[in-house]
């Protein structure tokens, strides 16, 4: 019985071992947005293709990611929606338990860039009624794979050139990949400098789904 029990824990431990790398966690967060080729993952995670491939191999061995081939490119995706939920749950627990993480998040957040005191259901209602404008500042392909209801696709790289598409008389809520992503904060900073009333939503699509809220494709 002891041997059998040890084997059970050993199998579960494979998941923990695969997650015991900051870069693998970042790769999972990136794959929460949409499937990506290894070259894109390497660029977005700021590592070499060789190192990205090695990390992805570990995640694949733990059955956390899957692959498909298209021509000469290998695309990676999460093996199951539960992997995204695992990432969000792990991050939330870390934020609750680790003072160092709380301090780091506060130091990264730009002053006033957080959306405070607004319920998510109320946010959807305000967007549906046209009282606010929600913008998704992630790349196009991530928006197409899944986005918050009523959100407009305005990638950060294009935002400065497309400011005329935004009404100055309405509050703007920007979001990206989640609280560890800085794109929404940069968008808010730019919008405020241009005279817009803007706030940052720390949720990304993975956090939104984790709460059981609707996501559009």
CA distances from 84 to 34, 53, 78, 177 (A): 11, 20, 8, 12
Give the C-alpha separation, 202 to 182, whole Å: 10
121 vs 159, residue with greater confidence: 159
Give the C-alpha separation, 198 to 189, whole Å: 8
Which of 122, 113, 115 has its CA nearest to residue 150?
122
* Active-site residue identified among 32, 34, 176, 181: 176
Give the C-alpha separation, 174 to 113, whole Å: 10
Residue 107 confidence (pLDDT): 80
Q: Does the structure show a pLDDT above 90 at 106? A: no
Using 50, 70 and 90 to split pLDDT, how confident is the model at 105? confident
What does the pLDDT look like over 75-93, one tens digit per residue? 999 999 999 999 999 999 9
**Catalytic residue at 176?**
yes
Residue 77 confidence (pLDDT): 98
CA geometry: angle 73, 207, 36, nearest 5 deg: 5
Rg of the Cα atoms in the chain: 19
């Amino acid at each position: 019985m002891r041997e059998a029990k040890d084997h059970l824990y050993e199998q579960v431990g494979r998941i923990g071992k695969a997650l015991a790398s900051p870069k693998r966690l970042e790769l999972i967060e990136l794959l929460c947005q949409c499937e990506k080729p290894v070259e894109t993952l390497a660029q977005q995670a700021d590592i070499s293709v060789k190192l990205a491939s090695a990390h992805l191999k570990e995640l694949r061995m733990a059955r956390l990611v899957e692959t498909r081939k298209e021509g000469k490119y290998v695309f990676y995706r999460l093996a199951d929606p539960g992997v995204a939920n695992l990432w969000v749950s792990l991050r939330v627990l870390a934020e609750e338990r680790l003072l160092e993480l709380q301090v780091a998040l506060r130091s990264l957040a730009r002053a006033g860039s957080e959306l405070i005191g607004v319920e998510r259901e109320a946010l959807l209602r305000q967007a549906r009624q046209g009282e606010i404008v929600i913008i998704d500042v992630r790349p196009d392909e991530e928006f197409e794979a899944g986005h918050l209801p009523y959100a407009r696709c305005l990638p950060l790289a294009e935002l400065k050139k497309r400011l005329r598409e935004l009404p100055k008389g309405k509050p703007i809520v920007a979001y990206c990949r989640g609280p560890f992503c800085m794109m929404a904060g940069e968008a808010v900073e730019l919008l405020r400098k241009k005279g817009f009333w803007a706030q940052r939503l720390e949720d990304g699509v993975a956090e939104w789904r984790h709460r059981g809220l609707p996501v559009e494709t």
